[in-house]
Structure formats: C-alpha cells, structure tokens
C-alpha cells in the first residue's frame, strides 16, 4: 500500500505546483496589516476543491467578526472526510500571508508566482501555502489510489495566523469544531531536512519599558533627568538580573535555556544637544515552561524600583505574555504516527523537541489536545523577499500526510 500511495502523490506534482501558484496569486493580507483579508482566497480555494472532484467531502466556512474586514468578518474553511475510524486526523494550515514588504527587494512580482528551476517563488508559497496544498493533495492522492483513510480527516484552512490568530484559531477553538481525541498536525514550521518535530514551546513574554525623566539642553544636564542614561542602566541591569537568576536548562529545546533579548528602541530626540526626557525600549523573552512568568515579572519589577530610586526617573513596564502549555508527549499517537511517516518518506529518524517560537499548536495543547508541528520547508525564506519553496518539498509533505491519513 505504501508504494501505491507514494506513487499516487508523485503523479500529482504538476497539479500541486499549479494550484499553489494559483492560490498565492491572491494576496490574503490581514486588514490589520494593510490588506483586504482572506475572502477572495477562501472562495478560490473552495473552487479548487470542487474542481479536484473529491468525493464524500463536507465543506464548511466558519466566520469570526472583524470590523476592519471588508465583509465585517474573517473566514476559515474546514473540509471533512470520513475514514474507517471516527477519530480524526486534523491538519491545520493558514491561508493568510504577510505583506510583500519592500517590493524593490524582489526579483519578481510577489503575487505572480514563478517556477525557476526546482523552486516556486512568490509570497506565501512557503509560509504556509505549500502545506495547505500538500494536505489537500494528500487526500486527493488517497482517493486516486482507491484507499480509504484509516482516520477520518479534518483539513482546516484558517485565517489570521500571521497577526496572532485573534480572528482565527483563538476564537474557533472555543467552538464545537475540534475534539479531545483529535490527532493534530500543524505544518507551519520545519527545516530543509524535515528531521525535526516540534512538540513543545517556551512561554513568551514581551516587555515594554517607558522611562520618563526631564528634557533639557545638553549643556545643562544637571537641570534635568537624562532618560537615556536611566534607560541604558535599566536595560543592562534587567538583562543581567534575568540571566543571573534564571539559569535552568532543558534539553528538550533546541536553545536549551531561557532567552531575554533587548530588541526594539524607539526614537527619542531630534538633535544631539538635547537630553531626552523620555525613552522607550522593549525586550523579547522566550522562557522555559518550568519557569513562572510571575517570577520573571517580579525580578524585573525589583530592578525597576531600584533604578528609579538611583536615577530619579519614573519607569513603567507593560508586560504581555502567555505561559507555555504542557508539551505533547513523544509517545503520543500523533507523534508516533508522524515519526513513522516521515521516516518512510524521507528515510531519516526525526527528532522531537521544543522551540522558542509560537505556533497554532499552543492553542490545542492548552485545551489538552496533543498537537505536533512539522513540515519539510526551506530554512529562512518565510517573510523574506523572493520567498520560495522547493517543489520536491511540496510532494514530500503530501506523501507524509497521505501515509498518516492511511494510518501507515
């Protein structure tokens, strides 16, 4: 049966490439990021599914209200197909993309995908169009081979992932769509080798510091309070305190320790001879699940209080974060099934571990539904000019998903 499924997927390569190019010619950028949303792309996807001639499927569109959207709501499409078992294999991809950014940095029109050699170029062909198409054609490959899936299938094509999923999965998961025994695969992260399965994520914490002093002429600094100096002291001491206090390591993660990175700093004064009275800077923190965010926040507030007393500046901190969910077990049914299929297709032994980033999978894990993240995808091309995917990766992903569907 293996060879029949794999051969069936290989025959669909040309159709997969054409379908991916067709979908990625439609910008699906969030209305909160300067775009018009996903409506047109959802309609085209539904048309493509109809043209594929898939039998016995059920399609349903779920909407989430969004006043910024042209239609006042954001669409996500769900496809269900019955298998031998009522238990479902769910594969979730997202239909939205990020904007093209600096168009002059592209060597093609971002929304006119082009095949160049072994690659397809265009915005969204890797993130996340490739796996959207692969999941759909995995089911097509099974039907063409005359094989009934072992599991019932739920393919979810959801909106708003790139802007945080507030108008997508964050609300959809609260509806009666997903089940406790679902086997969930999120093909929204991976590498060229296809040898890493993400089963855990770190807690995330963003910290925005606003330091307020008193602006004065630089020739008379004693007449004011230099917010730049206070911010420099604060950033250094927060960085030092967090790295000194939270030294735990966890080998499950590819970066096995917590990271506390000073990142963005806002512009302050327009001239060099002005002592700034206000400074704003931010930290991005990826924290091991076993560390409490409350403990991190308490450590930061302790430093803030001390720096305020020493500098005379007033400091406020905005914290935005979420605690990590329990990891998906390596011996869970969905992880074992995925490992087996990846090994069969790519002839490798994949490693299961954790990452510092955030994916759809966190929503499921927080609901107690095991979820894994995997795809074979090109490293470092997502969100970049001249985004591309290797055509062979589209086919390989479809093969892996098809074997999973078949329970092989």
Catalytic residue selected from 39, 62, 96, 144: 96
Tokens of 83: 């298998």
Separation CA 58–CA 374 (nearest Å): 26
CA-based angle 160:161:162, to the nearest 5? Answer: 95
Distance, C-alpha 348 to centroid of its chain: 24
**In which element (H, E) is residue 296 found?**
helix 293-311
* Integer Cα distance of 139 and 260 in angstroms: 43
Residue 96 falls in the annotated catalytic set: yes
Which residue do the tokens 């924290």 mark? Answer: 287
Q: Give the residues across from 131 on adjacent strands.
A: none
In this structure, what token pair is assigned to residue 362?
Answer: 């966190």
DSSP state of 84: S
Active site residue 408: no
Task: Give burial (CB, 10 Å; 0-12/13-18/19+) of 102.
Answer: exposed
Q: Which pair of structure tokens corresponds to residue 71?
A: 């239609």
The total of other beta-carbon atoms located within 10 Å of residue 326's CB is 11
Chain-centroid distance of CA 171 in Å reads 16
Q: E-strand spans in 266-349? A: 274-275, 278-287, 314-322
Question: 285-320 b/e with 16+ CB inside 10 Å = b?
Answer: bbbbbebebeebeebbeebbeebeeebebebebeee
CA distance 158 to 92: 7
Q: Which residue is catalytic, options 144, 161, 279, 387?
A: 161
Integer Cα distance of 246 and 65 in angstroms: 41
Instruction: Show which residues are catalytic.
Output: 96, 161
């Amino acid at each position: 049966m293996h060879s029949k499924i794999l051969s069936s997927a290989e025959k669909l390569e040309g159709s997969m490439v054409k379908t991916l190019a067709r979908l990625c010619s439609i910008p699906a950028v969030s209305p909160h990021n300067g775009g018009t949303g996903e409506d047109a792309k959802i309609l085209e996807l539904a048309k493509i599914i109809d043209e594929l001639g898939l039998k016995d499927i059920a399609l349903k569109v779920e909407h989430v209200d969004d006043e910024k959207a042209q239609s006042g709501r954001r669409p996500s499409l769900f496809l269900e197909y019955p298998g031998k078992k009522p238990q479902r294999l769910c594969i979730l991809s997202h239909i939205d993309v990020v904007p093209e950014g600096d168009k002059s940095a592209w060597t093609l029109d971002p929304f006119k995908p082009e095949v160049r050699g072994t690659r397809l170029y265009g915005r969204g062909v890797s993130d996340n169009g490739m796996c959207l198409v692969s999941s759909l054609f995995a089911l097509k490959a099974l039907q063409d081979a005359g094989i009934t899936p072992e599991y019932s299938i739920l393919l979810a094509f959801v909106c708003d992932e790139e802007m945080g999923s507030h108008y997508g999965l964050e609300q959809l998961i609260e509806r009666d769509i997903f089940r406790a025994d679902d086997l969930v695969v999120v093909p929204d992260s991976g590498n060229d080798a296809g040898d890493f399965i993400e089963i855990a994520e770190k807690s995330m914490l963003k910290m925005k510091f606003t330091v307020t002093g008193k602006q004065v002429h630089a020739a008379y600094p004693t007449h004011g309070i230099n917010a730049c100096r206070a911010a420099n002291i604060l950033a250094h001491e927060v960085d030092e305190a967090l790295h000194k206090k939270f030294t735990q390591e966890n080998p499950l993660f590819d970066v096995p320790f917590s990271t506390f990175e000073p990142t963005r700093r806002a512009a302050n004064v327009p001239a060099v001879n002005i002592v700034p009275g206000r400074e704003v800077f931010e930290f991005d923190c990826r924290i091991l699940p076993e560390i409490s965010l409350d403990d991190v926040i308490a450590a930061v507030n302790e430093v803030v209080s001390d720096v305020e007393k020493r500098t005379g500046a007033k400091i406020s901190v905005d914290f935005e974060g979420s605690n990590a969910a329990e990891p998906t077990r390596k011996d869970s049914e969905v992880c074992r099934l995925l490992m087996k299929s990846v090994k069969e297709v790519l002839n490798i032994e994949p490693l299961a571990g954790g990452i510092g980033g955030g994916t759809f999978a966190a929503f499921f894990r927080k609901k107690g539904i095991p979820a894994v993240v995997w795809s074979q995808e090109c490293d470092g091309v997502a969100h970049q000019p001249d985004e591309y995917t290797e055509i062979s990766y589209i086919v390989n992903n479809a093969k892996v998903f098809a074997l999973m569907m078949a329970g092989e």
